[in-house]
Amino acid sequence: MTKTARNIIDYAYITAGSAVTALAVVLFLNPARLAPGGVSGIATIFFHIAGWNLGLTIFALTMPLFFIGMKLFGREYGIKTLMGSLLLSAFTAIWSTVFGTEGILDYSKDMSVWLSALYGGVISGVGIGFVMKSGSNTGGTDIIAQIMARYTSLSLGTSLFIVDGIIIAVSAVFFGLENALYAIIVAYITTVAINKIVLSMGTNYAKTIFIITSRTDDVGKFIMEELERGATVIDAKGFYTKESRPMIMTIIPNRDISRLTRAILELDPEAFITINETSHVLGEGYTPIEKIANTSDVTQR
């Protein structure tokens, strides 16, 4: 597959994912007053307390963060994130015009908020998962979390949890504790759906990857310089051929898996890759070892 074809697929993922995510916000989350995080959650709060337009609010909140993200993470990242941000705000405005802002459920019924949490979480997770599959995101608070993860010892998952937790806490002030608890359920369901879409496996935030390639130096350079992750070269020997070949071992956050596999495909279509679940990653760039050094059972963390 050519680079042009891959770019077309990536942008198709961004477009479809943004449309689906916006649909979840308009049909379920905003009408139910559920703000599970993200710029759409902030926009939901402003919509109900001040009457601000959902799509325009998402746009206004995202643009300053976009410019910060592009400066820190590079031009290609910036272009895709800009597209995701613009499309999310545009589709939110479009769906609000088409379907209105009252949603499709009767909120005089007790089960309607629960159904909104369930379907809103699944649909938004599928949408965001498609966007992330392209190596991008819908901008907004994702950028804040990525900045936190880069410049602190916090993992991306922890950073996202903190940012979204603050938004949910604020929503509790305006929408009540019960809706905030529903919003937490939405956030959890969304996370599970995202992981299923991005990797179609597990929900851990990182994977251990083994790569056998004739372009070892080029792949290693991409991992080190573009993904800013470490890599280890292991001497390996084929059992049948008895040939010695270097094998790269690296640990990559879920969000970067697509970028890595696309780069390897471009460098060496004949490469052999295995991706393994990793439940805990301790050390520089991930969870500091000292945080759990005195914990007898790591799996409890």
Same domain, 220 and 152: no
* Phi-psi map region of 61: left, alpha, beta (phi>0 left; psi -120 to 50 alpha): alpha
Same domain, 68 and 181: yes
Helices 3-24 and 111-133 cross at an angle (nearest 10°) of 170
| Boundary (domain end) residue, out of 140, 166, 199 | 199
Q: Where are the alpha helices (DSSP H) in 111-247?
A: 111-133, 141-151, 156-175, 177-199, 216-221
Same domain, 178 and 232: no
Same domain, 211 and 174: no
Query: Does residue 245 fall inside a structural domain?
Result: yes
The total of other beta-carbon atoms located within 10 Å of residue 110's CB is: 7
- Name the residue range of residue 259's domain: 206-289
For residues 289, 290, 295, 296, the Cα torsion angle rounded to the nearest 10 degrees is 60
Same domain, 126 and 220: no
The total of other beta-carbon atoms located within 10 Å of residue 157's CB is: 19
| Boundary (domain end) residue, out of 199, 221, 250 | 199
Q: Quote the distance between the C-alpha of residue 117 and its chain's center.
A: 19
- Note whether 139 and 62 are within 8 A (CB): yes
Residue 298 has pLDDT above 70, yes or no: no
Domain count, the chain: 2
Same domain, 227 and 175: no
| Boundary (domain end) residue, out of 199, 225, 248 | 199
Same domain, 113 and 260: no
The sign of the CA dihedral 121, 125, 128, 132 is positive
Query: Does residue 299 fall inside a structural domain?
Result: no
Same domain, 272 and 223: yes
The pTM score is 0.68
How big is the CA angle at 30 (ends 29 and 33), to the nearest 5 degrees?
85
In the chain, the largest separation of any two C-alpha atoms, in whole Å, equals 71
Q: What is the pLDDT of residues 241-281, one digit of tens each?
A: 888 889 999 988 777 787 888 889 889 988 999 988 776 66
Q: Which residues, 6 or more positions from 278, have their beta carbon under 8 angstroms from its beta carbon?
A: 204, 206, 207, 208, 251
Strand partners, 232: 249
φ/ψ of residue 109, rounded to 5: -95, 140
As a whole number, the mean pLDDT across the chain is 83
Query: Does residue 135 fall inside a structural domain?
Result: yes
CATH of the domain at 261: 3.30.70.120
Amino acid at 95: W
Same domain, 33 and 69: yes
Lowest mean pLDDT among 182-196, 200-214, 242-256: 200-214
Higher pLDDT, 121 or 5: 121
Q: What is the pLDDT of residues 46-63, one digit of tens each?
A: 999 999 999 999 999 988
The predicted structure's pLDDT at residue 283: 64
